[in-house]
Structure 1
Amino acid sequence: MPTTLEFAETGYTAYGQSTGLLTHDGAPMPGWDELSDRTRAAWVQAAGAVALAAIAGLTGADVGGSGPDVGDVVLVPVVPDENNGASVAPAIVTRVWSKSVVNVRVLGDGNTITWRTSLSYVESLDGALPGAAVWTWTGGER
């Protein structure tokens, strides 16, 4: 099964093919690897939402699980140099916007505690860029 990141890149590639590799304003599209972290994260969020909607439509399942609650511990991707070499850190949910979008307080392995807002759920952090606006459950899917 492809990851959400792979779905995002596939979607970006398909968008480029449909527009002749031009952006919405007619400029040449950058390659996937040339996109900013924020833009790639937006494509990942969009791909995840489409995948969840497709799964729900095909199966009738509630793919969102019970959803996060304030106080839940989740995992987020971080810059390893700012986290004692680790690329993932725990975070406490501080605000729930929906079953898939939360605000968190990141508890890195160091002296810095940071806030991150509007993070979108992904099933895995594999391939997530450091600092991407995504989160996942600590023990896998709920």
Structure 2
Amino acid sequence: MSRPSAMDLAQSAYAAYGEATDHQNYQGQPMPEWEALGERIQKAWIAAAGTIAMDILTSLANNPSPLTPDVGDVVLVPMDPTLNNGAAVAPAIVTRVWNPITINVRVLADSDAVVWRTSVVYRDNLDDVAVPAAVWTWPPRD
């Protein structure tokens, strides 16, 4: 899965705005399709979406996760249940730390499957994550 571009984010934001306003603009008139907005308005949506994306990335970089991962730590990753004795989550050992939110792991599947994941990114939880999403989270702490 590739990361969304600023254009992708802008189009998603515009579509979400439309959903929230019953596809009416701020004047109560029907919203034009993205392609009909014109370059100036599209660039404004792209700038807004890009700013929000940078704010989120800056926030993640400054407050990445409750802990900083180290090589040898155990984390959790989403797993294809057919390769993991029916379980949708598997433990993984950190093999490389790229930054506080991006790591490489060796997945410990409950089978003979040998699975490595590279450049997996931290998430608070694995709810509603599609397999094989490139994400990780910490095991629950009691």
Range of TM-score over shorter length: 0.5 to 0.7
Query: What amino acid maps onto 1:53 in structure 2?
Result: T
Unaligned runs of 5+ in 2: 1-8, 18-32, 36-51
TM-score after normalising by structure 1 = 0.60
- Distance, in Å, in 1 between the alignment partners of 2:69 and 2:82 is 28
- Distance, in Å, in 1 between the alignment partners of 2:72 and 2:117 is 15
Any idea what SS the aligned residue of 1:124 has? coil
2:13 is matched with 14
Distance verdict in 2 for CA 1:78–1:53, change over 3 Å: same
Query: What amino acid maps onto 1:20 in structure 2?
Result: W
Say whether residues 1:100 and 2:101 are aligned partners. Answer: yes
Query: What amino acid maps onto 2:99 in structure 1?
Result: S
2:58 is matched with 53
* Superposition pairs of residues 1-142 of structure 1, within 5 angstroms: 13-14=12-13, 20=34, 50-51=55-56, 53-54=58-59, 62-64=62-64, 65-139=66-140
Q: Percent identity?
A: 49
- Please report the RMSD computed on the Cα atoms of aligned residues, expressed in angstroms: 3.2
Distance verdict in 2 for CA 1:55–1:82, change over 3 Å: closer
Displacement of 1:114: 1.0
Unaligned runs of 5+ in 1: 1-9, 22-45, 57-61
TM-score after normalising by structure 2 = 0.60
- Distance, in Å, in 2 between the alignment partners of 1:100 and 1:86 is 24
Query: What amino acid maps onto 1:125 in structure 2?
Result: L
Displacement of 1:50: 4.7
1:52–1:63 Cα contact (<8 Å) kept: no
Distance verdict in 2 for CA 1:129–1:98, change over 3 Å: same
Distance verdict in 2 for CA 1:112–1:121, change over 3 Å: same
Q: In the comparison of the two structures, how many residue pairs are matched?
A: 102
Q: Over alpha carbons, which structure has the higher Rg?
A: 2
Displacement of 1:15: 5.7
- Distance, in Å, in 2 between the alignment partners of 1:93 and 1:73 is 6
1:79-125 CA-to-partner distances (Å, cap 9, x unmatched) read 11111110000000000000000000000111112111000000010
1:18-41 CA-to-partner distances (Å, cap 9, x unmatched) read 9817xxxxxxxxxxxxxxxxxxxx
- Distance, in Å, in 2 between the alignment partners of 1:111 and 1:73 is 19
Any idea what SS the aligned residue of 2:12 has? helix
